[in-house]
């Protein structure tokens, strides 16, 4: 049985970002983590941390979350029809970087969210490079 959720998807504004500390210097705040897509596709995520696990999907340009300190999130990109996964990007406009490990061959990436905010955006590109292609069309 899953315990308390470690990752709370929210359409609301993001809570205060960054890492704060208790009177013993331990990090107590939760970090900001944004996942999302560019192009056509979706991300399947599986998050685990001290307080439990949560999994789900994100198929929006930005799925904003807050995450318990030291949560590990595994992100797997699934390209839509006629698209393929290209790379993981951050959100430069928000000064957020994708601090993930080197992706697997299928693009799966592991992100350990602690001490710093992060954003991982899956970039999908159209196969053929000129928009959606239709099978069989010439």
> Interface residues with another protein (CB under 8 A)?
19, 21, 24-27, 50, 69-70, 97, 99, 101-102, 112, 114-116
Instruction: Choose between 101 and 106: whose C-beta lies nearer to another protein.
Output: 101
Tokens matching residue 27: 């990090």
Which among 65, 57, 60 is positioned nearest to 118, based on CA atoms?
65
CB of 4 to another protein, least distance (A): 17
Residues ≥6 apart with Cβ < 8 Å to 109: 74, 75, 88, 98, 100, 101, 103, 120
CB of 115 to another protein, least distance (A): 4
Q: In what order do the strands lie in the sheet with 41-49?
A: 52-58, 41-49, 71-79, 109-113
Instruction: Choose between 97 and 133: whose C-beta lies nearer to another protein.
Output: 97
Instruction: Choose between 11 and 102: whose C-beta lies nearer to another protein.
Output: 102
Instruction: Choose between 27 and 39: whose C-beta lies nearer to another protein.
Output: 27
CB of 86 to another protein, least distance (A): 19
């Amino acid at each position: 049985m899953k315990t308390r959720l470690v990752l709370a998807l929210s359409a609301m504004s993001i809570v205060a970002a960054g890492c704060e500390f208790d009177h013993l210097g331990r990090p107590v705040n939760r970090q900001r983590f944004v996942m999302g897509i560019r192009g056509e596709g979706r991300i399947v995520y599986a998050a685990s941390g001290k307080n439990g696990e949560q999994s789900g999907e994100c198929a929006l340009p930005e799925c904003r979350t807050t995450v318990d300190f030291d949560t590990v999130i595994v992100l797997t990109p699934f390209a839509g029809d006629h698209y393929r996964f290209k790379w993981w990007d951050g959100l430069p406009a928000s000064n957020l970087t994708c601090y993930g490990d080197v992706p697997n061959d299928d693009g799966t990436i592991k992100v350990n969210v602690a001490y710093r905010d992060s954003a991982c955006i899956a970039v999908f590109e159209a196969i053929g490079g000129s928009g959606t292609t239709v099978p069989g069309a010439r």
